[in-house]
Structure 1
Amino acid sequence: MSMILEKIAHDYKLNDNDLYLAQYIIDHSEEVIHLSTHQLAKNTYTSATAVVRFVKKLGFINYNDFKINIHSFLSQYYLKDMEILSHESLFSIRNKLSEIEVGIINQTKNMISIDTLKKVMDYISKNKYIDIIANDTNACIGEYASHLLLSTGKITTVYQNRDKQLWLSLNVDHYHTVIMISKNGKDEHLLNVTDILIKRKIPFIIITSHKKNLLAKKQAVLLYGVIHDEFESLKDMVFYISLKYIFDLMYSVLISENLQQAKEVDQLYGALFDKKT
């Protein structure tokens, strides 16, 4: 029995039939998302009823919920073995870190539905001005996003000062797209700013962790970043890798929508930079 299967079996008290289904899903996760309950049952010598019962045992609402979220579910188990150990070799850390980052990015990707991504990009594409509300390291990633988005013609400003965050929420209009970032989603000030935006009927985007929190319950388009509490020494890094992927995704979609314009702006910037130096 694989280590991942052992952990899933322990967490969900799987019986022998469940174990066979779980191992098949682990070995064929890319294929399974395209199978119906009857097809998966046929491949595992079980029944459609047994398949539905199994996915509900794992905590999924139904089979469709299982297919949408299975990669994210499995990634949690892949990553649990990836903690950096005391005095670990450079070779091991180099290889392990790349696996951690790939795993986090895959989890983040699987938590973003195409419908949600479309809403996010509609908000960003329609307005020239992007306002990012964030604190501390989140604001640093926001500055990175600002650099990317500015290169696509989006006037992007990061609001880290609490007073300015409040004034922004009171004055921003529908010609701006607001993005709020909060890993834990429980900062009272940010929750207050959020309530003001909602009361003023300003549509906005929230990026927070995939764990349940107060901010995630607000009326906004939600994007989720990954956190892993078991990564004690790396838990901040995990969320920021996830957050960077989200902004890289926004940037890539904008570039794809206006590829020729992006090339022209990049050439102009390069010419000005060369002239300056």
Structure 2
Amino acid sequence: MLEKISMVQQLSDSDEALRTFIFKNPAQIFQLSAREIAAKIPCSSATVTRFVKKCGFLSFRDFQIYIRNEVENMTGTSMTKRIFLEQIFVDQVFEADINEQITRVGELFQAADWICCIGMGSSGIMAEYAARKLNMIGFKALSSNEPYAPFLKREAKENGNVVLLFSSSGETREMVELAQLLKSYDKTIISVTNSGDNLLANLSSINLCYYTEKQRLPYQFDLSSQVPVVALIEYLVAYCYHLQAAEN
């Protein structure tokens, strides 16, 4: 259990104390903030953040998700079975800087000629929904559930266009290849993924990530919840609408 943490070498005394606390209290880790964990050691919250990076995690939230999954595997239960519906957005579904990220995306949308929303499967439905909502408030947006759609060859290269990619796993081969193509055009890539630790997120200029339990069925059917994605779209569209109203 917790191999990614136990394998880290050359730790300071504070790091060792932090690791010992994690090993003894894994079920508490995904319920506490970095500051609250630091207070229990004691150490600084910066020490906690640096330790998380040393373990190979992109963010503190990715670290918490890893711990939670390890606890669930050990106990054979799913923690999310104990979460009530009204708590779903209270339990740190999004990163702490999500509002700043939304602001950056909104500014890019304001300056864009076209917004290309792309995804596959359930994520393709989210891309279509995003394009529809953006069109309703006056943006020029189009959607596709086919990452190799012909229009991309032209639109993706044009400087005035923004590309918004949806992928629950962030590892879908077609979506990753598309992101690599867009990166070769020096495009600003905005992605929406379930966690910030995946190939698509790493290729993106801006990653809007959320955290829900991943549920994969045989033959790669994805039953993971899209509720946080809908919430992100709704919030982003509302922000853009009010941004437009303020300018007018």
Cα separation, 1, equivalents of 2:102 and 2:213: 23
Change (3 A) 1:96 1:227: closer
Identity between Structure 1 and Structure 2 (%): 11
Aligned 8 A contact 2:213 2:224 in 1? no
Change (3 A) 1:48 1:199: closer
Change (3 A) 1:171 1:73: same
Aligned amino acid, residue 97 of structure 1? L
CA deviations over 1:243-277 (Å, ceiling 9, x no partner): 11211121121122133789xxxxxxxxxxxxxxx
1:218 aligns to 2:210 (yes or no): no
Look up the SS of the partner of 1:227 in the other structure.
Answer: coil
Any runs of at least 4 consecutive aligned residues in structure 1 with deviations exceeding 6 A, and if so which? none
1:98 aligns to 2:94 (yes or no): no
1:254 aligns to 2:240 (yes or no): yes
> What are the equivalent positions in structure 2 for 1:123-272 lying under 5 Å apart?
123-164=108-149, 167-172=151-156, 173-210=158-195, 212-229=197-214, 236-238=223-225, 240-259=226-245
Partner of 1:13: 23
Unmatched segments (≥5 aa) in structure 2: 1-18, 73-77
Higher helix fraction (1 or 2): 1
Tell me the TM-score normalised to structure 1 length.
Answer: 0.60
Unmatched segments (≥5 aa) in structure 1: 1-8, 85-94, 263-277
Aligned amino acid, residue 223 of structure 2? D
Which residue, 75, 79, 82 being the options, matches 2:80?
82
Structure of larger gyration radius: 1
Aligned amino acid, residue 236 of structure 1? L
Change (3 A) 1:223 1:52: closer
Look up the SS of the partner of 1:119 in the other structure.
Answer: helix
CA deviations over 1:95-136 (Å, ceiling 9, x no partner): 93333x3346x412x354444333222211211421101112
Task: Say what the alpha-carbon RMSD is for the aligned residues.
Answer: 4.5
The count of aligned residue pairs is 217
Partner of 1:118: 103
Change (3 A) 1:257 1:220: same
Aligned amino acid, residue 60 of structure 1? V
Aligned 8 A contact 2:155 2:161 in 1? no
Tell me the TM-score normalised to structure 2 length.
Answer: 0.65
CA deviations over 1:42-87 (Å, ceiling 9, x no partner): xx7x7546x776x379x5349xx9xx9579949x86x943328xxx
